[in-house]
């Protein structure tokens, strides 16, 4: 599994709430399950909007196929998120048959 975040994310309501999503990528045979955690930051004219979140447990499909993950953003500080550019730092903690593994990545996103 090489998870990612889709570059285009969408606000769900006027108060800045939204869900981040992305693909898991194809899973390797030794990967059993994973959890994706992330921090999102959106700079503005004042303080940055900052949020955090994590997925529920993601389980490998029998054929190892990829699927989309999603997780609600919990607003931590700054103004509400709004349309515009933001950046996401994310990590996937993976349970493998031989022990734990981790993937991390950074991506610029556009919120619309």
The parent domain of residue 41 ranges over 8-111
pLDDT band at 88 (very low <50, low <70, confident <90, very high): very high
**pLDDT grade for 24, boundaries at 50, 70 and 90:** very high
The confidence score (pLDDT) of residue 16 equals 64
Helix, strand, coil content of the chain in percent (nearest 5): 0, 55, 45
Check which CATH number belongs to the domain holding 93 and give it: 2.60.40
Q: Which is more confident, 1 or 71?
A: 71
- Would you say residue 53 lies in a domain? yes
**Structural domain includes residue 2:** no
Mean pLDDT for 49-66 is: 96
Mean pLDDT confidence for 89-102: 95
Q: pTM of the full predicted structure?
A: 0.90
β-pairing, 74-77 vs 49-54, is: antiparallel
Question: How high is the pLDDT of residue 14?
Answer: 56
Residue 38 lies in a domain: yes
Q: What single string gives the DSSP state of each residue in 16-70?
A: S-BEEEEE--PPPTTEEEEEEEEEEEE--SSSPEEEEEE---EE--TT----EEE
Provide the pLDDT confidence category of residue 46 given band limits of 50, 70 and 90.
confident
Give the pLDDT band (50/70/90) at residue 15: low
Residue 74 β-bridge partners: 52
The average pLDDT across 44-72 equals 94
Domains identified in the chain, total number:
1
């Amino acid at each position: 599994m090489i998870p990612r975040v889709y570059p285009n994310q969408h606000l769900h309501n006027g108060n800045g709430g939204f869900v981040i999503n992305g693909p898991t990528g194809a899973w390797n045979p030794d990967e059993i399950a994973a959890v994706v955690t992330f921090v999102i930051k959106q700079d503005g004219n004042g303080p940055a909007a900052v949020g955090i979140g994590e997925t529920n447990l993601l389980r490998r499909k029998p054929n190892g196929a990829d699927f989309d993950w999603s997780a609600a953003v919990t607003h931590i500080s700054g103004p509400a998120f709004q349309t515009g550019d933001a950046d996401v730092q994310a990590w996937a903690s993976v349970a493998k048959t031989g022990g734990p593994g981790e993937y991390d990545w950074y991506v610029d996103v556009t919120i619309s």
